[in-house]
Structure 1
């Protein structure tokens, strides 16, 4: 059987943390993302860290009623990307994303889908799933989004302790693919009585 690595991306964590890095706020709508090059950079780093070819990128995000929007549809069409969607709750919070990630980690480990899992997330709720995957012989590396200081942004201590390794996504991968949206400067209206 051929050895592989697999990449699990919590898009909510990745995009909010990347937005914080480049714009100072975690609002995803404040940044423009070049998804193709971002995914390519993550794949390249996953293969370098593991020393193994990538089986697949599992991309987890929320969608209204679990139906992908146009952007998510394009992400799902990228080579080697499997789109996995949760939904939004009535309060606007994502629902089912962490559960999907955890279930996939454990199921893929039990089925020996890959030897090394790379997890882009900081969520404490994934700690037990990481530990269960390791029981089945899988190595789990957590990839955090780097702060401007270089330290990983928002990764739970429990998750760090459970993982085999914690490292950060290459800063250039984020900086070259996630850009702050510049707000247009409003042009003041001319005073009444003056031509526009």
Structure 2
């Protein structure tokens, strides 16, 4: 694969440093209300290498017993997720090209040794809506393929402020994060990478 699947878009340097810093502060308030937790794989209960939380009416969670799903409450605190902040809703309006607002924003924190295996975002009922992904912090090596796991893949680096949109034919493409490049950004005081993923669920 030499180009992105149809409907997938890569928008480098969309957020300047000031907007990145503002988003980090926004996410700090989300995490203060809905603390990061470690999701685990269905069936095996093996912990993932990322820590995560959510904001919005629904949040994506996974556990050994019940697997991947969306629910309105934090799996540890039992409280409702905080609302999606206005600046993230504005990004959706500006970029996604979809009339209905997002219902979930996944906040994934990657330490420098974290990764995310190839997967599809297919737990949503509304697959017409795109998935909008925002990178903050250290650069990662992002890999994207086709709608079958065996399809050829394309790898490229995502830097702080970059945005990826998976829509159209590319909505169900396999994608993942193969590695994080330490010390490639000064945005996050203690290093690592934050990925924000806006999704429409129902």
Same fold, TM-score > 0.5, yes or no = no
Structure showing the higher strand proportion among its residues: 2
Structure showing the higher helix proportion among its residues: 1
Specify the structure having the higher radius of gyration (Cα).
Answer: 1
TM-score (norm 2): 0.28
Greater RCO between the two (CA within 8 Å, min separation 6)?
2
